[in-house]
Every structure is written in structure tokens, then in C-alpha cells.
Amino acid sequence: MEINPIADYKGPVSGKFGLPRQAGLAPSVEGKIIFRPGYRQREALRGLDGFEYCWLIWGFSMSETKWSPTVRPPRLGGNERVGVFASRSPFRPNPLGLSCVRIASVGDGEILVLGADLADGTPIYDIKPYIPFTDAHEGAHAGFSDTREWRRLKVEFEPGCGISDCDRKTLEELLAEDPRPKYQYDPDRVYGLIYRGLNIRFRVEGDVLRVISAS
């Protein structure tokens, strides 16, 4: 089946590095769904503002297209393998992502959403309302994602790092999730995250992530 993007996501994080690993992990991240011509019709969104959340079916546009029967989820430290269909990994036969995001407001051909785990420019193929009676299963067993505690970092901003107060909350949510690839433990290494066009530079020592500068 041929599917075509109906919209694009406009968000603060460019590239994969620093993206939340699932929707909702960084609830303050604000982004816009901007419909493409042909789908940009106010009518098509009628009633959506009555819903608190919606589903996005989107394309892993930045991943390789090769899939693998097993993958190594970051949640397991990157060294245990699980089946691709037991994971939300991008390396799937059909590279479709699924995310539940909070609806902040519905505009004319645009939706303002919170908590997305999509990179800026991600193509969106479908949007559906979130319906708790069919979608919500609080407390359902969730295999390996049940069994391990997710290690969060303490985020500190160096004086004079140049980050505005209003960006700090969102950056704190993003960085506390530890964006480093598969447990690199070099405290001298400086990482860079592209956030709203700024290069946010930081180091991690133990459980503390320190933001050095933004330029």
C-alpha cells in the first residue's frame, strides 16, 4: 500500500539525538502538526478539540530502512536483544512510529501538541483521537519495560550558559532522560543537542548532567 504524509511535525529537537524515547516522557515539549496542502481543511479537524490526546502514526524518516528480527532497546542498557515486534524500535519492516500526544489547541490546519517524541520535520501519516475505553489499559503488564527502572539524571545549568528560563523546563525534561547513546561513561566528553536551532552543550558525570553553553 502506498501511503502519503498528510502533515509534518514542527518541533524543537532536530535530529534523533536528544529526542524523548517515548511520547509523554518530556511533557512540556511543544510542537506543531502542520497539515500539507490538500489535507489542510478546518472541517477535517472538527470536534478534535474535545479530545485530550490524539494518536500520531508517523514515519521514522531518519532511520535506515533495513529491519532486524531482534533489536537492543536502550531501556535494557543496549546489550540485550528482544524481538522487533516486542519493541518500539525504528528498525521495523514498515518504519511506522506510534505516539500518543496531548492536544494543547486545534487551529486552522494546525494542531499544537505536547509531549511528542518526534524530530522536527517528521512526516505524519494519520491522526486519530485517543479513546480511553479502547486505548487505555493502565497497569497492563509490559514485559521488559516493567522490570527495569529508568535511570534519570539530575540536570544543572551552569551560570551564564545562556538558556532562558522558559527553555529550561523543557530542556530539563529532555536531558534528564539521558540522551547519551548506550551508556557512554566519559565525564570529559562534551555532547551537543540541537534544540530550537541552538547547540546545547553538556557533560555528564555520574548522575549529574551539566549544561555548559548554548550557541
Give the cell for residue 60.
521514522
Binding to a second copy (CB under 8 A) within 8-37 occurs at 22-25
| 176 lies in the binding site for a second copy (CB under 8 A) | no
Judge whether 136 and 61 are in contact, CB under 8 Å.
no
Q: Which residue lies nearer to a second copy by CB, 144 or 189? A: 144
Q: Residue from 28, 30, 39, 194 that binds a second copy (CB under 8 A)?
A: 39
The single-letter code of the amino acid at 101 is V
Of the candidates 204, 98, 112, 195, the one whose C-alpha atom is nearest the C-alpha of residue 151 is 204
Q: Residue from 34, 55, 161, 178 that binds a second copy (CB under 8 A)?
A: 55
Q: Which residue lies nearer to a second copy by CB, 99 or 170? A: 99
| 215 lies in the binding site for a second copy (CB under 8 A) | no
Q: Which residue lies nearer to a second copy by CB, 126 or 178? A: 126
The least CB distance from residue 140 to a second copy, in Å, is 4
The least CB distance from residue 212 to a second copy, in Å, is 30
Question: DSSP label at 207?
Answer: T
| 105 lies in the binding site for a second copy (CB under 8 A) | no
Q: How far is CA 62 from the centre of its chain?
A: 13
Judge whether 61 and 137 are in contact, CB under 8 Å.
no
* Cα(77)–Cα(113) distance, integer angstroms: 30
Residue 9, SS3? strand
| 112 lies in the binding site for a second copy (CB under 8 A) | no
Residue 95, SS3? coil
Question: Which range of residues in 8-16, 91-99, 155-163, 206-214 is near a second copy by CB under 8 A?
Answer: 91-99
Give the cell for residue 134.
479502547
* Cα(168)–Cα(31) distance, integer angstroms: 16
Q: Residue from 8, 12, 53, 163 that binds a second copy (CB under 8 A)?
A: 53
Binding site for a second copy (CB under 8 A): 1-4, 6, 22-25, 39, 41, 43-55, 57, 59, 69-70, 81-88, 92-96, 98-100, 125-146
